[in-house]
Structure 1
Amino acid sequence: MPVPSMAASAGTPSPFKGRMLAFAAILLAAFNLRTAVTSLSPLLDVLGNEFAFGATMTGVLGMAPTAAFALFGVATPSLTHRIGLERTALLAMALACAGLALRALVGGTGGLLATSLLALAGMGIGNVVLPPLVKRYFPSRVGTVSTAYITVLQLGTMLPALAAVPVADAAGWRVSLGMWAVLAAVAAVAWIAVLRAGRRAGSPLARAPEAVVAPATTATQAGVTAARGRVWRTPLGWGMAVMFGTTSLVTYAMFTWLPLLLVDAGASRAFGGNMVALFSALGLLSALVMPSLATRLRNPFPVVLACGLAYFAAFAGLLWAPMKAPVLWVVLLGLGPGTFPLTLTLINLRTRTPQASAALSGFMQGVGYSLSCLGPLMFGLLHESSHGWTLPFAFLAACVVLTSLSALLVCRPQWLEDQWQR
């Protein structure tokens, strides 16, 4: 059964007419949300030799993305309330550009960490601000635009990882790290153009697209303003945070430990790296499919169950027969995080206004990324204490169960603003 329309489009023949600049700015920002992460990790061995740091600092650099995303996930809704969504997006891209450019110039470990955190601050802000921007400019095409921006986000995750080592070999690690600042600068320019267009009378970007929202009573709309920032008091907010957090936890644990697990089973390091690339690439499939399913299905919980079953099959294969059919296990493993683009789409499908979308996005990602920090750490501790892989995979299986239980709550049709009224 199709989901009832979340936005009225009367008087708007084409939701994209006059708003292609905003669409392009959203996509450019999406590409820049992971470049600081995946351009660095393939070069950590080179940088470790360059700056003489070891496993401890490598671990700190590995945890920095989720920690930064968590911190700025919590802080961003207040920022958007003060300066607006578009200026927040511009600030995000400016910080990302500055951090990426300065990181290419550092001369030591402290500078590497500080500039990485600067870039990640921008990307953490961008994570939160994009869903409400989609709702503001394209309220009747949430699924279509979400598919586009999440797909571009996945491309921005894959391409820096693929290019990092070849570019470093050809031109040096500074060029390999710094070249992504150019795309962040282009995204910043796009948001400057959106802001300028919004000040021109008669421009579609000057009209308040956010005024086109789902039907609601006057009391409910008033409650949106009064209750801003109280997402933590709603079951939906916590359900979304746990669903997003456990999905990210499993994903980051596998990014960190999948190569070692396969090498431990007898594979080469190159094969382990290729399997991580395959695991990442399958995120594109989820990005293309999940937003559309979320908007078409009244309750997408069966999709979450299918993702959980794929996870369980992959865990069993990697635990008991890792080298019997490793490609199959990794393909199944890559289908599991389909709940990531699903939760990003549900941000807009469970809220009436961009303000509520921003609040839910910030809370979900702030709490969720805090939770995901535990993934690589707990998996490693359990592996080290048990000298095996059974306990670590049992931990991940328990997290998948938590994902399903939280999805049971958030997948049923509901509005965040209605829960604010309770």
Structure 2
Amino acid sequence: MVLDRVILIVLDSVGVGALPDAAKYGDEGSNTLGNIAAAVDLHLPNMARLGLGNILPLKGIAPVAAPAAAYGKMASRTAGKDTTSGHWELAGLILERPFPLYPSGFPPEIIEPFEKAIGRKVLGNKPASGTVIIEELGAEHMRTGYPIVYTSADSVFQIAAHEDVIPVQELYRYCKIARQLLRGEHAVGRVIARPFVGEPGHFIRTDRRQDFSLEPPRPTLLDAVMNAGLQVMAVGKIKDIFAGRGISRWIHTHDNMDGVDQTRNFIRESNRGLIFTNLVDFDMRYGHRNDVAGYAAALEAFDRRLPELLEALNEKDVLVLTADHGCDPTTPSTDHSREYVPLLVYGNRIQPVDLGVRSTFADLGATVAELLGVPYDLAGESFASMLMK
């Protein structure tokens, strides 16, 4: 039976336990959702009803005898733990080799031509937390006009600039220059614009962040859906992650709640196809800042909005909740963590079965294609036959 729409929501960084190879990444013991639940009194009644507590042991969130959704978890086969490769794998593209990392900063063959192209020196050029480095170098940036360049444990080239010093559109231009330079062996997953405002000691990053990703090297689920004549509607940074490819319509969002609003608006339309949403606040605002209380509050805020999404679904719609990696705020690290991701699949035509542990995120992409009746020859093994009543 072919369904009308799949609404795929990525709860960015909501991992559910360390993968077997997590120690290679320094992430042994990471469990974003489990460790948050152990640290605070977490209330997620709506996700619990779907079967969240059936996926993994969670303090205060017991498994239910009759979950409303199919449930399971997925492992990543791509080497890495970054946003781009996580989303690409969800869409059926598994990378043969990971994106390059720069634990000592970017080499002269990247920085020197970048400085020449923008006509300014750069500050930083090292791995750092975004909020920490703007406090460290923000005043010097305002005095000199030099942009702040930094990276992290992920494959990213990030450029931070005060909006009154380097206007946002100029910052975006710098990012496009960097994107053109970062090719071949230096093809990082994302170049990210990180605008901020305020005064020294009180800097605040704004919501005009923009990601400049590599274009996927091969077709993805999004291309398959579009080629079948269906719509792909992207909410949040999905458009950036896929470099605009395979997307019919898109909208950037200000925060998680705006992401829920825009997803609901797309659900209310009648277009067949895929609604693909990323809710980034869990990762950007709380995971990377080791803010356990803030992360928990964001999870509870989404859980309170979840019934609106469920009630908006049509008879032949399916809602999927998952993630792209972890970012455990309870560990000393402020970087992403290599974890399993949750899998909850809900709809009127869906059997609430145990989907077990999927060996790759790409199984979801294959399943979405089969549910929509879309020709698909990418990575992953569909579990659609387990879902349909």
The reply to whether TM is greater than 0.5 is no
**Greater helix fraction, Structure 1 or Structure 2:** 1
Please tell me the TM-score bracket, short chain as reference.
Answer: under 0.3
Query: More strand by proportion, 1 or 2?
Result: 2
Bigger relative contact order, structure 1 or 2 (CA pairs below 8 A, ≥6 apart): 2
